[in-house]
Amino acid sequence: MIRLALLVFLFGYNLILATGQELSDTTLLESVEVVASPLRTSPIGTRSEEWNISKSQNNSTNIAELLKGESSAFIKTYGSGSLATSSIRGGSAGHTAILWNGFSIQSPMLGLHDLGLFPSGFYDKVSLQYGGGSATWGNGAIGAVLSLSNKASFIDQLVLSTQSTLGSFGNFHQQVQFNIGNSKIQSGTRLFYQEGQNDFSYRINEDLPEKKQTNSALLNKGILQELYYQPNDKNTFAAYFWKQHANRQIPPLTTQTKNIAYQKDDFTRLALHWKRRTNKLLLQSRAGFFDDYIDYVDNQILLRSLTHFQSIIGEVEAQWSLDNHQFNLGVNNTFTKAFADAYASPPTENRIAAFGSYRFDWLSWKTQLSIRQEWIGSKASPLVPSLGIEKKLTNFLILQAKVSRNFRLPTFNDRYWQPGGNINLQAESGWSQEMGFTLKHKKEKFKASYSTTAFNRSINNWILWSKQEGQSFWSANNIAKVWSRGIEQRINMSTKWKRWEFNFSSGYDFILSSNQISITTPRIEAGEQLNYVPIHQAFINGTLGWKKWYASYQHSFTGQVETSNEPLDAYHVASFRIQKQWTSKHFQPSFFVAINNLWNANYRVIDRRPMPDRNFQIGINFLIHK
């Protein structure tokens, strides 16, 4: 009954809006990004969501959990800290570009990055730009761009913050951040440690005895060191060193007696940034070196797969202003070498990209034209332009629209894996269009907004591994054409009254993403919804605060998804959290208690992978400063 009431609530709010209630707020972001030109980080016509990770209030362990709880990104995961990938706007995991301080960090071998590896305390800001962003970010920015960024505050500070969380199933998570600096130099050190057994109990059905998950332990630890130097108002230098190690067991499927496989992830990332800012000109130069290993071992079937890549990235860009005109130009060079037993010899790739943007603001209109061209060796990728428009119709209504062409290059595995790699693959590419509006209202301490965005996208040359006529093995081919379209709606509200605070956000996504061409192996009918792309997704999050006590409720609904076997049922999952903060001059402690899977739903996100039943977390955060 509760679920039914919630369902009505989730889908019913549109009716309230239709009656003409005036709601408002802005989901548009002001440009405060330091890691790249604002023309790239906040492009016109793009719907964005962002999260500032507070040192004292951060409770999510990793970015997969953050997105799962706070956005409508569909996260494929099977428990805390597990391997996790995303599907946004009907794309595959490789269709979300992932940036760290402006660098693309997806594996060039897999074309994606495991979101379970990103400790959420390692970043100051996380943002999600929905829709195609290839014209500014290039390869893979088809469904969305997930941007993880660090930034410095050049203030006199000495801050130590810690977050410690104990959870069910042997989960322990510790994060420490230490910042010291003044108006010239800043240092930030972040340490992260996570371990867990994840030996939760689950039931296949009520007639069968409870089973305990096995081979599901994880260890994940890392360090991120930031150094910033600002010799004067115009110049800023930054250096980053990020090293992480994870060792995760791979639990058996429900249709598997046991599994003893595990995967080790190890990576080292180094980056150097230089930024020069004058009144009219912003110059940025950065270099990065990434060294990344994935070691998958299954001793049961005598399989070991060790893959490794190294990338060196250099990028220079400039943004300048002339009255109400803004320009951005830049070049990027990325060199990658990859190693895997299944490659005949370690392949290398050098990619050069040139990109530019022009933004023109006139009265209540904002327009931005962007374009990017990449060359992979001597081969040109598709030329990708985008045009975004924003019109402020009234003080409470903003319209926005965007047309863009986007692409994804075949991965190293698509090209070089033996057997089946195909060096003649074309890039996946296609056009997407989106438009939407935002209603916003602000009156004293009451803020509200409502937005709707509709999108349409067609991607040609979609790469699938398939069995071709006369072939005895699977190979990568440009055989699919995928049409994705949908509507996304968001409501945000916040208000304060005396010592009470109330925040509410809600969203509903309706997404169709279908392959337009019939394929025999794998068997896909024309017009059939892609696997693991829910047609319906919705969430509501509410927080009630009183005298720094906060009670939060998160509820999400995921519709039925197709898999390569049977479809997975729709499910509701909720969590409840109580948090208390204290504030004093030098010391800000807080604690929280959380109940995850509050209604003890028996659900699956991935076929044949059970999810934890109701479970608990308790955490203490400290923030001590000078």
Partner 1 sequence: MQLKFTLILSFVSFGLFAQTTTNFEEFDLNANEHINESFDVEGFYSGNTFLPNNYSAMFDSYTGWSISTHSDTMTPGFTNQYSSITGSGYESNTFAVASAYSPIKVGLQNESVGEVVEGMYITNSTYAFLSMRDGDSFAKKFGGETGNDPDFFLLTIQKYLNGTLGDEVVEFYLADYRFDDNSQDYIVDDWTFINTSSLGQADSLLFSLTSSDVGDYGMNTPATFCVDNIVTFGEATSTKTPSIAASYSIFPNPTSEFLNINYEDSEKAILQLFDSSGKIVLQQSIAKGTSSFDIRHLTSGAYALRLKNVKGVSSELMVIE
Residues that bind partner 1 (CB under 8 A): 204-205, 207-208, 252-259, 261, 298, 300-303, 418-419, 467, 472-473, 521-524, 531, 564-565, 608
**Cα–Cα distance, 122 to 237 (Å, whole number):** 19
Rounded (5°) CA angle 547-552-553 = 155
* Dihedral sign from CA coordinates of 252, 245, 577, 553: negative
Element (H, E) at 263: strand 262-277
Q: How far is the CB of 566 from partner 1 (least distance, A)?
A: 9
**Cα–Cα distance, 536 to 269 (Å, whole number):** 37
Nearer to partner 1, 321 or 520 (CB): 520
Nearer to partner 1, 263 or 588 (CB): 263
Helix count and strand count (H, E) for the chain: 5, 32
Q: How far is the CB of 318 from partner 1 (least distance, A)?
A: 48
The pairing of beta strand 211-212 with beta strand 397-408:
unpaired
* CB within 8 Å of 322: residues ≥ 6 apart: 280
Q: How far is the CB of 563 from partner 1 (least distance, A)?
A: 8
Nearer to partner 1, 321 or 564 (CB): 564
Q: How far is the CB of 248 from partner 1 (least distance, A)?
A: 15
Nearer to partner 1, 364 or 418 (CB): 418
**Cα–Cα distance, 495 to 475 (Å, whole number):** 56
Nearer to partner 1, 202 or 576 (CB): 202
Q: Among candidates 238, 14, 12, which has minimal Cα distance to 124?
A: 238
Place of tokens 């409720």: 553
Q: How far is the CB of 253 from partner 1 (least distance, A)?
A: 6
Q: How far is the CB of 467 from partner 1 (least distance, A)?
A: 8
Q: Among candidates 410, 402, 454, which has minimal Cα distance to 429?
A: 410
Report in angstroms the alpha-carbon separations of 278 from 235, 282, 283, 330, 444. 9, 6, 9, 18, 36
Structure token pair of residue 462: 């979609």
**Cα–Cα distance, 451 to 14 (Å, whole number):** 11
Nearer to partner 1, 206 or 233 (CB): 206
Q: How far is the CB of 515 from partner 1 (least distance, A)?
A: 11
**Cα–Cα distance, 135 to 440 (Å, whole number):** 29
Q: How far is the CB of 261 from partner 1 (least distance, A)?
A: 8
**Cα–Cα distance, 336 to 92 (Å, whole number):** 23
Nearer to partner 1, 314 or 522 (CB): 522
Nearer to partner 1, 38 or 90 (CB): 90
Q: How far is the CB of 256 from partner 1 (least distance, A)?
A: 4
Nearer to partner 1, 52 or 418 (CB): 418
Q: Starting from the edge strand earliest in sequence, which strands make up the sheet with 103-104, in order?
A: 48-52, 125-130, 144-149, 96-100, 103-104
Report in angstroms the alpha-carbon separations of 504 from 2, 31, 218, 540, 592. 19, 24, 34, 7, 19
**Cα–Cα distance, 550 to 502 (Å, whole number):** 9
**Cα–Cα distance, 441 to 17 (Å, whole number):** 13
Q: How far is the CB of 439 from partner 1 (least distance, A)?
A: 42
Place of tokens 């479970």: 615
Q: How far is the CB of 473 from partner 1 (least distance, A)?
A: 6
Nearer to partner 1, 34 or 464 (CB): 464
Nearer to partner 1, 50 or 298 (CB): 298
